[in-house]
Chains A and B, each alone.
Chain A
């Protein structure tokens, strides 16, 4: 009896001691590191998430752009931060690539995943006078290897790997459609419309204005099933019967070994953020694919993405 009372007392004491600690996080402003430049897509999503997460946590969240080295600088900084929950970051697709490419030893195991909030599937685009569907594109490429050139990003960027993975899955060598490395989608579209190249790989929202203008047409999307926002675009599987899909992604994470209570607090807050109408309207207005996964599912997702991108990188001959 005495023992029980003591236990209760002890438990009460621990509770009173620990509850404030739990309730206290966050007790000062949080820094959210974005590994990409201010004004870009990742930055826009990060700032929206930050302003909504701020409401949930009741403390200011400062978005800090740490750019350079193709995102390596910022990703490294997030991984090396003190795991106290006051430095978090947005991690992006590139994290699934670095260690395969040998540009940085970083991978998803260096982080504590908190929440996935966006995925965007890659797509295949051509000029309106180009091949009528993906089947024709691939057979033209097969007939005259090297005659059709493609672009959409740097070498080793998600669009390049998506294309390499597609060619690999279609049993074609990757140089059947040589990749022209560019500094992103804008110069790639410019090359397509000026008739310098034949194919652009990117996510559909990036080319939507050009599609509406009749300058570009989308042949297929690399998704397991059709995207509800673009119901007229067939998946790769529907178009040519090959099971290939690949998405770029964005999520919130902290450094490895984040205390479990802090991670839970953040994960719970993010679960509410993605349900907020402000978040939903932002994501759909900017046509970012809304795809939420909680901490645990995000961890599984990261492991799967790591493997898929690994396959594509090996196919592209870029693995170190």
Chain B
């Protein structure tokens, strides 16, 4: 109790309050600008934190990332430029909603579910951090390999254009992920002697190209470039009708929050996979899966909750063992060290009040998302009233700046263009884009963990089932893959046996 009161006193400090406010606004701006990520926002904050007291600097990072991740959905929804790899999972869905004039509903529902997911993650962090972190440490490359398989399998489930098209798209993504230095031997693959490609295809420019540039090309060639967007809903109604929607899909919110937290806690898996997996589970368990991909809020709500829940989850191993769960917490761990707060289990004893104050900041930042997010959405939605030709010019400009900014290289603008044209051609052929992104994100994770495991096991495949958690996950994955295949084989068998029974026996 004493620690709690002390924690309250700490966060009531005006400097902390002002910092949270300013960092929130900063996070919103950075997140809403296409191509600038939450990680970048955090990195930009670091030099400023030199001048802050420890609590303020952590508060700034927490508030800034929560805002940036949520604001990353805004350009994705309105302009089809996903702000983060996580929001790429449902960018097409929200953009379809915008086209139907439901942009405000899409953003509003993802905002509210984000807040709920974020609060859930924060509460889990407060209550169970030390014990959960120890569980997470039991995951080795064998378990991560199977998790990556589950993540990839979602591509086939997510794809609205069907199983085969989704799979094809996924394999294109995996092929792109092969470009660059081989994870084990370090030898270059598919780089054609280019130093720029040694580190692989830069992900953000590729993502911007595939969504935004292909969309621009499409509307130019279709002649829709001169038409206006569908008349948007009245903007005041961002929260109008959202609560009934959230309560209708409360199962999705709950499932998204739980899965997001669990995956967030595993170091290195991160919130990106969480959004994809939850979008897939939403579709799998939906009563109306046929509506997915046509502008349906159900998957957006579940994945939105998972996104922000995962964000808090990533702090669990970071605070307890100094093992960061994602790029943002990696930076935050650095800041903690610098402020003399060394992450570790002793942190919970020696700096109890400070730690609880940090947890409270999580709650405050997530609650502050509501008004701030509302303002951001309200301001951003005005974009759609800009005449489309002018708007498209600005989008192109943002795409170029965003692609350039991530690595400060002109080469990445070329990457963006190439991927824009590729994605345009693919979508003309009826192949979905989203699974490519998933392939690029998870390809390296899959390969790295497979090869690491093989090295550890001296090349024995049995080892993938020898550890208890890995065994369970492995059997689950095999079932996931074999059940649809069995169905197909069974169907084919019935079909052929009915048509030509002799052929089979003879």
Contacts and interface: CB of A to CB of B under 8 A. Distances in A.
25 contacts: A38-B43, A38-B44, A39-B327, A44-B338, A51-B50, A66-B407, A67-B407, A68-B202, A69-B196, A70-B181, A70-B198, A73-B196, A104-B195, A178-B455, A182-B141, A187-B448, A190-B137, A190-B141, A190-B267, A193-B138, A209-B323, A209-B344, A212-B344, A213-B346, A286-B337
Interface string B361-388: 0000000000000000000000000000
A39 B321 contact: no
A283 to B, nearest CB: 10
A116 to B, nearest CB: 21
Interface string A112-125: 00000000000000
Given A68-B407, A101-B186, A181-B451, 6 more contacts: A39-B42, A39-B327, A68-B199, A191-B141, A208-B322, A209-B343
Contacts of B418: none
Interface in B319-375: 320-324, 327, 330-331, 334, 337-340, 342-346
Interface residues of A, number: 56
A180 B456 contact: yes
Given A213-B320, A213-B344, A41 B186 contact: no
A183 B452 CA distance: 10
A47 B46 contact: yes
Nearest to B455: A180
Contact of B458 (A40, A146, A193): A146
B339 to A, nearest CB: 7
B257 to A, nearest CB: 25
A156 B187 CA distance: 11
Nearest to B200: A68
A72 interface: yes
A65 B142 contact: no
Contacts of B202: 68
Nearest to B194: A69
B245 interface: no
Contacts of A197: 456
Contact of B195 (A38, A65, A73): A73
A181 B451 CA distance: 9
A65 B409 CA distance: 10
Given A69-B198, A72-B195, A213-B344, A196 B456 contact: yes
Given A73-B196, A154-B186, A155-B185, A213 B142 contact: no
B70 interface: no
Given A180-B455, A187-B268, A65 B407 contact: yes
B322 A210 contact: yes
Contacts of B143: 194
B138 to A, nearest CB: 5
Interface in B111-150: 137-143
A16 interface: no
A285 B338 contact: yes
A144 to B, nearest CB: 13
B223 interface: no
Q: Interface size class for chain B?
A: 35 or more
A194 B138 contact: yes
Contact of B323 (A146, A190, A287): A190
Contact of A149 (B43, B50, B455): B455
A212 B346 contact: yes
Contacts of A208: 322, 342, 344
Given A101-B186, A209-B342, A76 B195 contact: yes
Interface of B: 39-40, 42-44, 46-47, 50, 137-143, 180-181, 183-186, 195-196, 198-200, 202, 267-268, 320-324, 327, 330-331, 334, 337-340, 342-346, 407-409, 448, 451-453, 455-456, 458
Contacts of B199: 67-70, 73
B322 A181 contact: no
A84 B359 CA distance: 49
Contact of A44 (B44, B181, B200, B334): B334
B46 A183 contact: no
Contacts of A47: 46-47
A43 interface: yes
A16 to B, nearest CB: 39
A158 to B, nearest CB: 14
A190 B140 contact: yes
A215 interface: yes
Given A191-B456, A285-B340, A212 B43 contact: no
Contacts of B195: 68-69, 72-73, 76, 104
Nearest to A206: B322
Nearest to A63: B47
B474 to A, nearest CB: 15
A285 to B, nearest CB: 5
B43 A39 contact: yes
Contact of B139 (A44, A190, A215, A285): A190
Contacts of A39: 39, 42-43, 46, 327, 330-331, 334
B338 A38 contact: no
Given A43-B43, A180-B456, A210-B321, A156 B141 contact: no
Interface in A180-210: 180-183, 186-187, 189-191, 193-197, 208-210
A64 interface: yes
Contacts of B453: 196
B337 A66 contact: no
A301 interface: no
Nearest to A51: B47
A51 B48 CA distance: 11
The 9 closest A-B pairs by CB, nearest first: A68-B199, A209-B322, A69-B198, A38-B43, A39-B331, A194-B140, A196-B140, A209-B344, A193-B137
Which of B40, B184, B337 gathers most chain A CB within 10 Å?
B337
B456 A149 contact: yes
B456 A215 contact: no
A282 B337 CA distance: 9
A15 B202 CA distance: 51
A155 B324 CA distance: 22
Contacts of A190: 137, 139-141, 267-268, 323
Given A183-B183, A191-B140, A65 B408 contact: yes
Nearest to B266: A190
Given A194-B140, A208-B322, A154 B183 contact: yes
Given A43-B43, A73-B198, A208-B342, A182 B448 contact: yes
A232 interface: no
A44 B47 CA distance: 8
Contacts of A37: 327
Contacts of A104: 195
Contacts of A183: 183, 448
A191 B452 contact: yes
A103 interface: yes
Nearest to A33: B408
A70 B140 contact: no
Contacts of B320: 213
Interface string A202-242: 00000011101111000000000000000000000000000
A300 to B, nearest CB: 29
B321 A215 contact: yes
B367 to A, nearest CB: 27
